[in-house]
Amino acid sequence: MRSDTVGRPMEILLVEDDLEDAGLTIEALGRGDVACRVSLVRDGEEALEFIRRQGRYARAPRPDVILLDMSLPKLSGREFLAEIKNDGLFDQVPIVVLTASRSHREFLERARLHVEDYLTKPVDVEQFISVVKSLRKYLLADVILPQ
């Protein structure tokens, strides 16, 4: 992470049940030029509680971007997307789907569950930075992005 940045780091909510994939993603994000803080939840129900600031997540930070695995226990990535689409509260929070499968993209497009982008697992730093740059219009002005 760069030490010459100012402002607050980007808040990233990582929704991933596989701890190995989560560890690789967090490690990759830590090596990048984007100052960020990653919160990890391991299923779709936890993700809803986090973004709605319910229960143990009452003081959770509002995420600037959500990295969402599609194959989750309790509430799948598709069900999570459908649920928050109905809320309307999270229209301004970009969601990037973490997937190793093209079928997820095709399904989401058919179901009209809009996401901003897709990253293949394991997450590559350069690929992530490219996605972050493309999401600038959604992110808060004080989020630090690479030059």
pLDDT digits (tens, 9 = 90+) for 119-139: 776 666 677 667 666 665 455
Q: Which of left, alpha, beta for 7 (phi over 0: left; psi -120 to 50: alpha)?
A: left
Domain 9-95 has CATH 3.90.180.10: no
Determine the pLDDT at residue 135.
60
CA nearest neighbour of 26 among 138, 137, 122, 109: 122
Split at pLDDT 50, 70, 90, the class of 142 is very low
Distance CA 28, CA 22 (A): 10
Residue type at 127?
Q
In this predicted structure, the answer to whether residue 95 has a pLDDT above a threshold of 90 is no
Looking at mean pLDDT, say which of 2-11, 46-55, 101-110 comes out highest: 46-55
- Tokens standing for 59? 């003081």
pLDDT digits (tens, 9 = 90+) for 27-85: 877 776 777 899 999 999 999 999 999 999 999 999 988 999 888 999 988 889 888 87
pTM (two decimals) = 0.77
Residue spans of the domains in the chain: they are 9-95
Q: Nearest-5° angle of CA 134, CA 40, CA 103? A: 55
DSSP states along 77-123: HHHHHHHHHHH-TTTTS-EEEEES-HHHHHHHHHTT---SEEEESSP
